[in-house]
Each structure stands twice: as C-alpha cells, then as structure tokens.
Copies of this chain bind each other. A is one copy, B any other.
C-alpha cells in the first residue's frame, strides 16, 4: 500500500559525507538542521505521520539527536512550532493538583505560559494557523492526539473527544480575545480573575453529563 520509505537517504549521506562519530566542529548546526527538517516533515505529513528517523536523516544526523537536543518527538514539535512550553511539562503542571480545580488550573497555566511571551507567540501561531492549511492540520492533530488524549484519560468521563474539543474551543477563543482581538476588559484582566470565571466552564465541559 505505502511505497517503501526512502531509508536510503541515511546511507547516501553516509556514503557522500563521512558521518564521523564524536563531537563535531563548533557551530551548533545540528539543532538548526533538525528544526528545519522537522518543519518540512511535520508540515508535509502532520504530527503522527512525521517520522523522527526521516527528520534525522534529512538533517544528516542520527535519530538519537532528537532525544538529545529536544527530549523527544514532542519537544521537537514544540520547538519547531515555537510553542512556549513543552507538552510534557504542560501536562505535568495540569495534572498536579485536585481534579476539581482542573478547569481553573488549565486557564491559569494557559494564560501564564502565553502571557510570558507577551502574547506575540500566540498571535504568530494563530496567524500561521489561519493562513496555512498545513499549520492548522499540524496544530489540530497534535493537540487532539497528544494533549487532549492524555487529559481525557485523567478525567475519565464519557465522550472524551467532544469534551476535549469543547475545552479547546474555549481556550483558543480566550487566546484570540486576549492576544489578537483584544476584547476589553478581558485582554487586561488579571489571570486570577479569568481563572475563576472561565475555569468552572472548562470544568463543566470536562465533568458534566453530556447529551
């Protein structure tokens, strides 16, 4: 069904340029090469479709470099998309605490992380998402398959996919309202206020019975 993947690229690289072991000459081109290759691969095949080995081959290095420099596939995606936090750190923050405070904690973490970049990173992200279809696909796939899935496991309610997408809609809208459109007074409100106003609604999405 699927054509044989061009695994020769690694061998070709090994044949053309000698892949020496050990520390390479200064100038960290490995990280940049991986990032460039990752953007192309993620954009072409989505998050799940992108292969770490293919990215590493395209960058001319070993797949283990992804782990060494970015902590894994998720970290590489986060770096390639300029996300202000690694998904594993995000999830560990969210899941650390009482379950009845999960909604508020999600809002507080979301705003703390994006406020930290002055909102510029969010604007950039949503600009590319609304302009490039591939960016929208990448974000959709990554958020649903990586972030939502693990979150839904913890909540343990029915219809986890619907609940997750409902939460996602409120969070994306919060970012749009605060950083892009700048609805007042929401755009200037402090995080605590928004956490206790929006948090319960996320909690409801996550736990309340659905039709």
Which A residues contact B (CB, under 8 angstroms)? 123, 126-127, 129-131, 136, 139-140, 143-144, 161-162, 164-166, 168-174, 176-178, 180-187, 189, 193, 196-198, 200-201, 204-205, 210-211
Contact = CB atoms under 8 A, between A and B. Distances in A.
A177 B173 CA distance: 9
A140 B161 CA distance: 31
B140 A183 contact: yes
A155 B131 CA distance: 36
Nearest to A144: B183
Nearest to A131: B127
A90 to B, nearest CB: 17
A190 B23 CA distance: 57
Contacts of A178: 169
A176 B184 contact: no
Residue of A143, A193, A197 contacting most chain B CB atoms (<10 Å): A197
A194 to B, nearest CB: 8
B166 A186 contact: yes
